[in-house]
Chains A and B, each alone.
Chain A
Amino acid sequence: MKNIIVIDDSPTIRTSVQFALKQLGHNIRQAENGLKGLEVVDEVMDQKEDLALCVVDINMPEMDGITFVKEFRKKDKFTPVLVLTTESEEDKMKEGKAAGASGWMVKPFKPNDLIGVVQKLIR
């Protein structure tokens, strides 16, 4: 079973992402900020499970998405990271890409659009 970690401070977003990506047959784990997200990453690694993708919001308390990407890349070089952005966050998005993010998704989105983008990144 491959894992996808969804990191967002909004429970609504987390749930809707979980709902959409469940269809891909992966195990979805949630975290409400970057720091918690890193803990979940460690958890997956400790369990020697496969991590397929991280979906991460930019604006979060405790640790924002950009910092998460930077920290995450220290632990995991190759797993794709999809950043959730809003249209006004173009600069942030570029920062995220430079930190090692793979792609972005502009909020709000429809479940099918998200699946389409995720399928650009994982098989």
Chain B
Amino acid sequence: MSDQAILEVFHNEAREIIENIETELVSLEESYDSEKVNTLFRYFHTLKGSSGIAGLMEVSEFTHEIESLLDRVRSEEIQVTPSLIDTVLASVDLVKVMIFDEDQADGLSSQKEKILTFIGKNSNEVTDSSRPLPQKRKLNYFRVKINFKDNVFEYGIDPLMIIEDLVTVGTVIEEKIYRSRVPALDEINPEKCYLSWMYIIGTKHAKKKIDEIFLFVFDDNDIEITDITEDYREDITSDVNEEKKIGNILVQKGLITEDELLFALSNMKKEEKVGKALVRLKLVTEKDIEKALGVQVEVRKKIESTTIRVERAKLDGIMNLLGEIVIGQSSIVRFADELDEDKAYALKNSLYGLNRSTRQFQEQIMAMRMIPVGPTFSQFKRFVRDTSRQIGKEIRLEIMGKETELDKTVIEEITDPLKHMIRNSIDHGIESTEERIKLGKDPTGIITLNAYHQEGCIFIEISDDGKGLDAEELRSIAVSKGIIAKDKELTEDESYALIFKPGFSTANAVGDLSGRGVGMDVVKSNIDSLRGSVQIITEKNRGTTFRIKLPLTLAIIDGMLIKVGKSVYIVPLLSILESIRPRKEDVKTIKGQGEVVMVRNEYISLIRLYKYFDQVPAFENPWEALVVIVESNGEKLALMIDDLIGQQQIVIKSLDNTVTKDRSISGAAILGDGNVSLIIDIHGLLSEISSLRG
């Protein structure tokens, strides 16, 4: 191969690598990920090697500098900053000129100098200990269990050197030295190793650094290095508002992992306590349990002295009262509107200030009801472990967004639907182990739970890395079960949504859960009743994500006040599509469907609310009255009302179940004039009507 040919091959390779580098850099700027830094490092490494072979020594030397800069980022010696990314980008530009436009390269020496200075300065920053790093990096925490084989000395290894290395890598938080196996002098074989250790270490280094310490002994000795950063708490008693279980304390101390706790929980004997089980399984010592009990007492005391327990009903009471204040305020505003402008101006001004205070007040009370979603998510770990074993699959649950806070009521209401959805992912989402191996996937399937705030709402995601939904398959199942007509055309999203239809199940064999008759349709209606929605994102062989969107709180809604006869009802604003006054010829009666209204060539069932609620209406003809078009789950209804009053934030008072079994009413609210008004639940109304029709 001639030099020119080699150069050509290199040019092609370089072009591709540089493109990849640029993409990776942009993504690194968006979010830091050590894997991205690794990838970048590899690209520069390849570029260095290839340019050297192609005879471009200058490129090779220069890329070597960038490579070592990235190596320091990789080992977390230096951090990713915008200026670092700028520098690497600038160096890519420079490399491009050096490779493809050699004639121009001479003019770039000042730019090259600049980049090298930046790299040099960065290395100074690391070695100069008098100047603190700009940001204090969070510590990583590791639990290291060390158990050498007894003939380790015969491999020329001195374990003590390894232990000495380990304790200098960071701060020792917990040290356990197991000496009991060392025999007394008359019985010892001094050429065997008897000691073993357990360390919990906090360090700014990544796990790689610990791995390196054990490099020569890791494979043939019993060494266990666990990253416990996520669960470890430096000070368990600070910032607590809930009593802690012994198991949780041990996990937060780093003595056991969450998986080990699960293992103990599912291996508990009858009437055995967690602590006893953990000791029996040799995961902790009696002493650890004693200490954890001490922490538990401390936490309890702390809670007693720094917090006040309030019955939830009292909090709800305050919330209700506040709602009434809001309503009172709005009636004053209405009153102010009727005054002449001068007086109204001053009044409105002070009302504006009052409004702001009440809003803050409302936010603070809501914050009191908020609790982190973490414990709810964690409880599913065991569920996933047990159920997946039962059906012979290997599945791990991963949890993200533990700190995300949700209204306590929302958490309570969402727990069951979540469980069903997870079960659905276990049964139908994740493939069997054999299938996964055949597809070249990791035999262990992963279900991920995530929670986050966005757009003033809560999002909860249940994702699996399973087979994904097949729109065509779903459609044909729905047809065969008579859920949709054979010729009905559906978009992909509509096909996915079929799994929420009653009577739909894609299971080949009837699962445990389906046996009890709880399906995804129930899940969907539970979420609907929380005024939430579910979105399905799926990709063949990559998995499915159910994204649940929920309101921040269940206590307040935006409502539309409507008048029917002498009463005022409230319809959630989210359910309303539009309000119209139909023409006489658009109102018809169709056999089997009853009264309908035609809106833009679509027949929508008409519900005369005055009949439904037994009121005496102002108008008996729809073309004289008003019709509100509402929607739930893709189904529309036309509600005939007398008048629209206006929209308002409504604080919901939930009704005692004994008052009404009618699902069309979801609660009540007190209005500005002191009257109570019922809140119409569209989803419930739809199901009431379909059951009335039989």
| A residues with CB within 8 A of B | 53, 73, 77-81, 97, 100-104, 120-121, 123
A120 & B154 in contact (Cβ 8 Å cutoff): no
A103 & B154 in contact (Cβ 8 Å cutoff): no
Among the listed stretches B111-119, B155-163, B506-514, which one makes contact with chain A, having 4 or more residues with CB under 8 Å of it?
A: B155-163
The 8 A-B residue pairs with the shortest CB-CB distance, nearest first, are A80-B156, A102-B156, A103-B216, A77-B154, A102-B155, A78-B153, A102-B157, A100-B155
Residues of chain B contacted by A100 (CB below 8 angstroms): 154-156
B156 & A120 in contact (Cβ 8 Å cutoff): no
Per DSSP, are chain B's interface residues mostly helix, strand or loop, or mixed?
loop
| Contacting residue for A79 out of B156, B161, B162, B215, CB 8 A | B156
B165 & A120 in contact (Cβ 8 Å cutoff): yes
A103–B156 CA distance with the chains assembled, in angstroms: 9
| Contacting residue for B191 out of A77, A97, A101, A104, CB 8 A | A77
CB of B210, distance to nearest CB on chain A (Å): 14
23 contacts between A and B (CB under 8 A): A53-B156, A73-B154, A77-B191, A78-B153, A78-B191, A80-B155, A80-B157, A81-B156, A97-B155, A100-B156, A101-B155, A101-B156, A102-B156, A102-B157, A104-B216, A120-B161, A120-B162, A120-B165, A120-B215, A120-B216, A121-B157, A121-B161, A123-B161
CB of A86, distance to nearest CB on chain B (Å): 16
Is B220 engaged at the interface, CB distance under 8 Å to the other chain? yes
Residues of chain B contacted by A73 (CB below 8 angstroms): 154
A79–B158 CA distance with the chains assembled, in angstroms: 10
| Contacting residue for B220 out of A53, A80, A97, A104, CB 8 A | A97
Instruction: Please name the residue on chain B nearest to A54 by beta carbon.
Output: B156
Q: Which residue among A78, A100, A104, A123 has the maximum number of chain B CB atoms within 10 Å of its CB?
A: A78
B215 & A103 in contact (Cβ 8 Å cutoff): yes
Residues of chain B contacted by A104 (CB below 8 angstroms): 216
A97–B156 CA distance with the chains assembled, in angstroms: 11
A97–B165 CA distance with the chains assembled, in angstroms: 22
CB of A45, distance to nearest CB on chain B (Å): 16
CB of A6, distance to nearest CB on chain B (Å): 16
Interface 0/1 of B188-232, CB less than 8 Å to A? 000100000000000000000000000110011000000000000
Instruction: Please name the residue on chain A nearest to B157 by beta carbon.
Output: A102
CB of B216, distance to nearest CB on chain A (Å): 4
A78 & B216 in contact (Cβ 8 Å cutoff): no
B216 & A102 in contact (Cβ 8 Å cutoff): yes
A103–B215 CA distance with the chains assembled, in angstroms: 8
Residues of chain A contacted by B191 (CB below 8 angstroms): 77-78
Residues of chain A contacted by B165 (CB below 8 angstroms): 120
Contacts A78-B153, A101-B156, A102-B216 supplied; 5 other A-B pairs, CB < 8 Å: A80-B157, A81-B156, A103-B215, A121-B158, A121-B216
Residues of chain A contacted by B153 (CB below 8 angstroms): 77-78
A100–B158 CA distance with the chains assembled, in angstroms: 13
A100–B154 CA distance with the chains assembled, in angstroms: 7
B161 & A78 in contact (Cβ 8 Å cutoff): no
A101–B157 CA distance with the chains assembled, in angstroms: 9
Residues of chain B contacted by A97 (CB below 8 angstroms): 155, 219-220
Query: Which B135-186 residues have a C-beta within 8 angstroms of A?
Result: 153-158, 161-162, 165
A77–B189 CA distance with the chains assembled, in angstroms: 15
A79–B156 CA distance with the chains assembled, in angstroms: 5
A73–B154 CA distance with the chains assembled, in angstroms: 8
Instruction: Please name the residue on chain B nearest to A100 by beta carbon.
Output: B155
A78–B644 CA distance with the chains assembled, in angstroms: 93
CB of A24, distance to nearest CB on chain B (Å): 14
A101–B155 CA distance with the chains assembled, in angstroms: 6
Q: Which residue among A80, A100, A101, A120 has the maximum number of chain B CB atoms within 10 Å of its CB?
A: A120
CB of B355, distance to nearest CB on chain A (Å): 67
Residues of chain B contacted by A123 (CB below 8 angstroms): 161
B156 & A121 in contact (Cβ 8 Å cutoff): yes
A114–B183 CA distance with the chains assembled, in angstroms: 38
Residues of chain A contacted by B158 (CB below 8 angstroms): 121
Residues of chain B contacted by A81 (CB below 8 angstroms): 156
B154 & A78 in contact (Cβ 8 Å cutoff): yes
Residues of chain B contacted by A53 (CB below 8 angstroms): 156
CB of B279, distance to nearest CB on chain A (Å): 36
Residues of chain B contacted by A77 (CB below 8 angstroms): 153-154, 191
CB of A56, distance to nearest CB on chain B (Å): 12
A121–B213 CA distance with the chains assembled, in angstroms: 11
Q: Which residue among B155, B158, B191 has the maximum number of chain A CB atoms within 10 Å of its CB?
A: B155
Instruction: Please name the residue on chain A nearest to B216 by beta carbon.
Output: A103
B220 & A78 in contact (Cβ 8 Å cutoff): no
CB of A5, distance to nearest CB on chain B (Å): 13
Residues of chain A contacted by B220 (CB below 8 angstroms): 97
A97–B152 CA distance with the chains assembled, in angstroms: 11
Residues of chain A contacted by B219 (CB below 8 angstroms): 97
A79–B157 CA distance with the chains assembled, in angstroms: 8
A37–B285 CA distance with the chains assembled, in angstroms: 50
CB of A42, distance to nearest CB on chain B (Å): 18
